[in-house]
DNA sequence: GTCATCATGTAAGCCGTTACATGATTGC
DNA sequence: GCAATCATGTAACGGCTTACATGATGAC
């Protein structure tokens, strides 16, 4: 799961570990508080597996920053870099760049078979623009099916058992949360069909 | 967290491991799918720590069971006893009973200092009837404060960053979820104040 | 000179999982 | 005899956390 997030960030621009952590912390809420103790080993693993490659950049002007593509928060990095004299390096930091193998792994993780928890799904959806339209739709509908099943389970638990007000409130609120998620998903699926359907004319079977 | 759930179930009636797992699975949705690989070691730990005590019950008439709807542990036990010959035991199962130390530990875990994730809070609230009214209120308001902070963080992340529609949708939906949780908590706190306030006349300081 | 920030890493441990091993009983 | 369910446990491993170790740099 961490690997997915790292690769997703590196897909946009090259970064060093410390910066990756910052992006995860205040970038999107999911996966806040990843610690260095898991981040650095993860980067090492990815490098060993050939998914990313690292360049030692200390005093060299090879500053990672926004390539002309879009002025995202890369400009902040420039500001920050200007903050201390360019020409001096802080501590030799390792800047990571994604490889072709990394991109392959990324989409594999992104579309991968078993999307379990809410976190993983949220992360996948957050990077969903890197997926092909039909893979995106598949992701959404797989999640939808899961939630339907989960809702049924929760409802089943509510039915027979006699719970006190607190336990009952927890169960009901859980069910409401799942329902809200389902409505959200339905909206997303609808929007997805609106945009891709008329153009691509997908040969969709089931329905 | 598992300990809390186990003690909570044993607080109501004595159970053996297999049955505890069943209760967790289809009792309340939280903590479904606890595996034996974590359950049995947890029970052993609790027993070693003196929080529970086990009685080897094979053919003894001390049979626990889950009442289907209304009545207490009688009827199902009869059915089950008829099912296999009474006097023969399946495999000597260990029936666990909570001790005084266990009860102490239970309330400690229940009211304990740092309620982090949604699961832990849900579990605590599900057993909240075992808490004193003011401890219950404290639990709710501690959670509320956490969620307020979390909401602020998410909102902060949304503001400056330029996210594509998918990432943005994830962040927004996360925020909505937190808001729904807050409304839920407010309702619970209100109800709590309604019931305990007029009677107890709590000498509340901060507000 | 020492504190905060940037930057990278290692070691120990927690909490949970899957997979494996064992064994009794019931039903086909 | 064989499979399913009930019942208890062990072993190996996975992912993430905290705490620890190191070191440069800029600010006060």
Residues of A in contact with B68 (CB under 8 A): 160
Minimal CA–CA distance to B5: which of B37, B41, B39, B54?
Answer: B39
In 3-state terms, what secondary structure has residue A122? Answer: helix
Give the one of B70, B129, B174 whose C-beta lies nearest to A166's C-beta: B129
Distance C16 C1' – A196 CA (angstroms): 41
* pLDDT(B97) > 80: yes
Q: Which residues contact B123 (CB under 8 A, 6 or more apart)?
A: B1, B4, B5, B8, B30, B31
The rounded distance, in Å, linking the Cα atoms of A73 and A64 is: 11
pLDDT number for residue B160: 64
The rounded distance, in Å, linking the Cα atoms of B188 and B202 is: 17
The rounded distance, in Å, linking the Cα atoms of A81 and A88 is: 10
pLDDT number for residue B203: 56
Structure confidence at residue B72 as a pLDDT band (50, 70, 90): very low
The rounded distance, in Å, linking the Cα atoms of B126 and A169 is: 8
Minimal CA–CA distance to A54: which of A6, A87, A88?
Answer: A6
Contact A177 B177 (CB under 8 A): yes
Whether residue B54 contacts residue B95, with contact meaning beta carbons closer than 8 Å, is answered with yes
pLDDT number for residue B200: 57
Structure confidence at residue B71 as a pLDDT band (50, 70, 90): very low
Whether residue A6 contacts residue A29, with contact meaning beta carbons closer than 8 Å, is answered with no
- Both tokens of residue A45? 């693993």
Half-sphere exposure of residue A137: CA atoms within 13 angstroms, side-chain side = 17
Nucleotide whose C1' lies closest to the alpha carbon of residue A44:
C9
Contact B166 A122 (CB under 8 A): no
Q: Which residues contact B64 (CB under 8 A, 6 or more apart)?
A: B13, B14, B15, B16, B19, B73, B77, B95
pLDDT number for residue B141: 94
pLDDT number for residue A79: 41
Helices marked H in B13-89 — which ranges? 17-26, 36-48, 74-83
* pLDDT(A84) > 80: no
In 3-state terms, what secondary structure has residue B118? Answer: helix
The CA-CA-CA angle for residues A92, A94, A97, to 5°, reads 150
Name the residue in chain B with its Cα closest to that of A178.
Answer: B177
Q: What is the pLDDT of residues A168-201, one digit of tens each?
A: 999 999 999 999 999 999 999 999 999 876 665 5
Of the two residues A92 and A121, the one the predictor is more confident about is A121
Distance from the Cα of residue A82 to its chain's centroid: 30
Q: What is the pLDDT of residues B151-176, one digit of tens each?
A: 988 887 776 668 899 999 999 999 99
- Both tokens of residue B56? 């080897």
pLDDT number for residue A128: 95
Q: What is the pLDDT of residues A22-43, one digit of tens each?
A: 998 877 778 888 999 999 999 9
B26 touches chain A (CB under 8 A): yes
Q: What is the pLDDT of residues B114-144, one digit of tens each?
A: 767 889 999 999 999 999 999 999 999 999 9
Residues of B in contact with A167 (CB under 8 A): 28, 126-127
Q: What is the pLDDT of residues B11-37, one digit of tens each?
A: 999 999 999 999 888 777 778 889 999
Nucleotide whose C1' lies closest to the alpha carbon of residue B22:
D6
* pLDDT(A65) > 50: no
- Which residue(s) pair with A86 in the sheet? A88
pLDDT number for residue B43: 95
């Amino acid at each position: 799961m961490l690997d997915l997030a790292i690769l997703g960030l590196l897909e946009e621009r090259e970064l060093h570990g410390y910066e990756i952590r910052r992006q995860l912390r205040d970038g999107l809420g999911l996966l806040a508080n990843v610690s260095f103790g898991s981040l650095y080993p993860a980067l090492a693993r990815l490098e060993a597996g050939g998914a990313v490659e690292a360049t030692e950049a200390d005093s060299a002007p090879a500053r990672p920053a926004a390539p002309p593509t879009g002025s995202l928060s890369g400009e902040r990095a420039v500001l920050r870099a200007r903050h201390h004299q360019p020409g001096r390096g802080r501590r030799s930091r390792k800047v990571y760049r994604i490889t072709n193998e990394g991109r392959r792994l990324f989409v594999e993780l992104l579309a991968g078979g078993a999307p379990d928890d809410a976190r993983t799904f949220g992360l996948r959806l957050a990077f969903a623009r890197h997926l092909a339209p039909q893979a995106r739709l598949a992701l959404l509908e797989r999640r939808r099916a899961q939630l339907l099943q989960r809702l049924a389970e929760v409802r089943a638990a509510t039915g027979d058992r006699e719970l006190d007000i607190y336990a009952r409130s927890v169960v009901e609120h859980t069910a409401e949360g799942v329902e809200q998620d389902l409505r959200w998903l339905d909206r997303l699926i609808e929007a997805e069909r609106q945009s891709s359907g008329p153009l691509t004319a997908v040969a969709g079977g089931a329905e």
